[in-house]
C-alpha cells in the first residue's frame, strides 16, 4: 500500500516560469519522485507568480490544515525556498513535524529530508536554508524599492496605472500613455460628480450605462468610484508612500476640477436617508431659519416642501409648506433675470469677450516664459543634488532635504504654469459659455427633465434657502455675476442703443469690465 503524500509547488516570478520552473514542471517532478518512493500524491497545492501575499498565505494555511485533518504525514516540495521564506511559517512547519515522528518533508532537488528525529547536520541545513531564503526576500524587497524610487524620480508610476491609462514600451522601459478608449469616460465621471447631483452609487450606475467597466465587464463598485475620484494621478501627480510627486504622464483633468470633487467627497449629508422620489429640489433647499433640509411629500396630487421633521428641525417656528409649482415659478423668475435681453445683446457680449482676450494673450506669453525659466532652474538644482548624492560629495541627509524642497517647489511651479497656460482660453470659453447658458436657461428649464434642471442649477446656484413662501437662491460665482450685472447691462445696453453714438458705445463696453472676463 502506498503512503499518502501532498505536494506543494510555487513559482515566484515570470522569469522562473520561463526557465523551467513552471507549476506543471514542478508537479511533474513531485510525481516522478513520489513514484520512485512509492508515495501516492493525494492532493497538490500550487501558488502562481500572480498570487498576492494574502493568497499565498491562505494556500499555505489550507495545506497545513489538510495535512492534519486527513492524517497525511509526507509533504513533498522542490526546495526550501519554495515552501517558506519567513520564520513564522517555519515555526508552523517545525511544530507540525514535532507532533509526530512519522511526519516528513522531502525537498526533492536538495536531497534533504526533515523530520522529528533528523540528524543535527540535516537540521542545520534546514535552518541555514530558511535564513538564506529570508535574506533573499529581504534583498529582493530592497531592490524593488530602489527600482520604484528611481521610477518615481523619473516621473513615472512604478505600478500598473489606473483606468484611463495604459503602459507601452519594452520591459524595463515602459511608459504610461492615455487609454483613449476609457479616458473620456473618466473625464465625464469627474465632471458629473462635480455637479453635486450624484452620489457614488448613483454615479457608478450612470458610468456603467456610459460604458465604463471593470476588466470583468462588471460595473465599478462605489468604493472603486470613490478611489478613482480621490486619485491625484488624474491631474498629473503621483501619490507614493504618503507623498506627491510630479508625473510625466498626461493629465486627464485639471487640478481645479479635482479640488472641486474632493470638497464634494468630504461634504456631510444632513439627510442620508434613501428616498424613492426624485424631487427637483431634493437635498438642494434648506430652511433659512433652522437650517434643516426641505422634505417633500405628496398631498392631493401636489408636492409640498417643508423643513425636515428630524430631531432639531422638528419644531421650527417658521415651518411652512411650499408647493413645488410655486417654487418653480420663482425659479423661472430668477432665470429670466440673469439672461441677456436679446440675441443681439448676447452677440455683443461675446464680441467684447473675444476682443479683450487677445490683449490678455500677450500677458500670458510673458508669464509662461517667466515660469518656464524658474522651472528649469529648479530642475537643474535638483539634478545637481542627485549628482552630489551619487558622488558622495555632500552628506546624503542634506541632499535628500534639498531634493525634497526642489520637488515641492517644482510641483507648485508646474501647477502655476498649467494655470497660466490655460487662463486666457479658459476665461474666454467660460465667459462665452456662462452668457450663452444664461440666454438659453429658460428654454432648457422648461423642456428639460428633472436631472437636466438640477444640472442647470449646479452651473449657477449652490443651493436654495426657504423663508416661508419665499425661495432664495445662493448663487455660485457665475450665478452671482449674472444676477448682479445682467439686469444693469440689459438696461444700459437698451439706453445706449437708443441715445448714443457708435463711439460712445465703445465707452459703454469699457465701463463694464466684468463682461470682459477679468
Q: Which residues are catalytic?
A: 12
Measure the CA dihedral 385/386/390/394, to 10°: 20
| 391 contact partners, CB below 8 Å, separation of at least 6 | none
| 206 contact partners, CB below 8 Å, separation of at least 6 | 192, 198
Taking a C-beta distance cutoff of 8 angstroms, is the pair 42, 6 a contact? yes
Measure the CA–CA gap between 253 and 331, rounded to whole angstroms: 32
The 3-state DSSP class for residue 470 equals strand
Measure the CA–CA gap between 205 and 197, rounded to whole angstroms: 13
| 176 contact partners, CB below 8 Å, separation of at least 6 | 156, 157, 161, 165, 166, 167, 168, 249
Cell numbers for 34: 513520489
What would the 3-class secondary structure string for 332-391 be?
Answer: HHHHHHCCCCCHHHHHHHHHHHHHHHHHHHHHHHHHHHHHHHHHHHHHHHHHHHHHHHHH
**How buried is residue 290: exposed, middle or buried, by Cβ count under 10 Å (0-12/13-18/19+)?**
middle
Measure the CA–CA gap between 247 and 233, rounded to whole angstroms: 8
Taking a C-beta distance cutoff of 8 angstroms, is the pair 195, 261 a contact? no
Measure the CA–CA gap between 125 and 120, rounded to whole angstroms: 9
The bridge status of strand 104-107 relative to strand 74-77 is parallel
Q: Which strands, in side-by-side order, build the sheet including 39-47?
A: 39-47, 3-10, 74-77, 104-107, 112-115
Taking a C-beta distance cutoff of 8 angstroms, is the pair 141, 131 a contact? no
Which residue has cell 470659453? Answer: 429
Nearest to 103 by CA among 82, 72, 129: 72
Cell numbers for 495: 439706453
Amino acid at each position: 500500500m502506498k503512503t499518502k503524500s501532498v505536494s506543494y509547488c510555487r513559482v515566484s516570478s515570470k522569469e522562473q516560469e520561463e526557465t523551467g520552473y513552471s507549476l506543471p514542471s514542478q508537479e511533474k517532478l513531485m510525481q516522478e519522485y513520489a513514484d520512485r518512493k512509492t508515495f501516492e500524491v493525494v492532493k497538490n497545492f500550487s501558488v502562481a507568480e500572480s498570487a498576492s501575499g494574502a493568497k499565498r498565505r491562505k494556500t499555505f494555511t489550507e495545506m497545513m490544515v489538510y495535512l492534519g485533518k486527513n492524517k497525511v504525514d509526507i509533504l513533498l516540495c522542490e526546495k526550501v525556498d519554495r515552501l517558506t521564506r519567513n520564520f513564522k511559517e517555519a515555526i508552523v512547519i517545525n511544530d507540525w513535524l514535532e507532533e509526530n515522528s512519522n511526519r516528513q518533508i522531502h525537498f526533492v532537488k536538495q536531497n534533504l529530508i526533515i523530520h522529528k528525529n533528523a540528524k543535527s547536520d540535516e537540521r542545520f541545513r534546514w535552518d541555514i536554508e530558511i535564513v538564506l531564503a529570508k535574506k533573499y526576500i529581504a534583498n529582493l524587497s530592497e531592490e524593488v524599492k530602489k527600482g520604484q524610487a528611481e521610477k518615481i524620480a523619473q516621473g513615472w508610476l512604478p505600478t500598473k496605472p489606473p483606468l484611463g491609462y495604459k503602459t507601452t514600451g519594452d520591459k524595463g522601459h515602459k511608459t504610461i500613455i492615455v487609454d483613449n478608449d476609457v479616458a473620456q469616460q473618466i473625464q465625464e465621471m469627474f465632471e458629473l460628480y462635480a455637479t453635486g447631483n450624484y452620489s457614488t452609487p448613483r454615479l457608478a450606475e450612470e458610468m456603467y450605462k456610459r460604458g465604463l467597466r471593470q476588466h470583468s465587464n462588471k460595473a465599478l463598485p462605489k468604493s472603486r468610484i470613490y478611489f478613482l475620484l480621490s486619485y491625484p494621478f488624474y491631474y498629473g501627480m503621483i501619490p507614493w508612500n504618503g507623498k506627491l510627486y510630479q508625473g510625466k504622464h498626461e493629465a486627464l483633468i485639471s487640478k481645479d476640477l479635482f479640488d472641486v470633487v474632493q470638497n464634494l467627497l468630504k461634504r456631510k449629508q444632513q439627510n442620508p436617508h434613501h428616498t424613492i422620489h426624485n424631487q427637483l429640489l431634493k437635498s438642494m433647499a434648506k430652511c433659512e431659519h433652522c437650517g434643516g433640509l426641505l422634505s417633500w411629500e405628496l398631498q392631493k396630487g401636489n408636492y409640498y416642501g417643508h423643513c425636515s421633521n428630524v430631531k432639531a428641525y422638528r419644531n421650527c417656528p417658521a415651518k411652512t409648506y411650499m408647493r413645488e409649482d410655486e417654487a418653480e415659478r420663482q425659479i423661472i423668475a430668477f432665470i429670466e433675470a440673469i439672461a441677456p435681453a436679446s440675441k443681439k445683446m448676447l452677440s455683443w457680449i461675446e464680441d467684447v469677450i473675444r476682443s479683450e482676450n487677445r490683449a490678455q494673450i500677450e500677458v500670458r506669453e510673458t508669464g509662461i516664459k517667466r515660469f518656464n525659466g524658474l522651472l528649469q532652474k529648479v530642475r537643474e538644482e535638483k539634478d545637481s543634488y542627485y549628482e552630489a548624492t551619487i558622488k558622495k560629495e555632500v552628506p546624503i541627509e542634506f541632499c535628500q532635504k534639498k531634493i525634497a524642497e526642489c520637488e515641492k517647489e517644482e510641483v507648485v511651479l508646474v501647477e502655476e504654469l498649467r494655470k497660466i497656460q490655460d487662463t486666457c482660453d479658459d476665461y474666454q470659453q467660460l465667459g462665452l459659455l456662462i452668457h450663452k447658458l444664461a440666454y438659453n436657461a429658460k428654454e432648457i428649464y422648461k423642456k428639460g427633465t428633472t436631472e437636466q434642471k438640477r444640472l442647470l442649477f449646479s452651473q449657477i446656484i449652490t443651493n436654495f434657502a426657504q423663508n416661508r413662501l419665499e425661495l432664495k437662491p445662493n448663487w455660485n460665482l457665475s450665478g452671482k455675476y449674472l444676477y448682479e450685472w445682467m439686469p444693469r447691462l440689459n438696461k444700459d445696453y437698451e439706453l445706449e442703443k437708443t441715445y448714443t453714438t457708435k463711439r460712445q458705445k465703445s465707452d459703454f463696453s469699457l465701463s463694464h469690465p466684468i463682461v470682459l472676463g477679468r
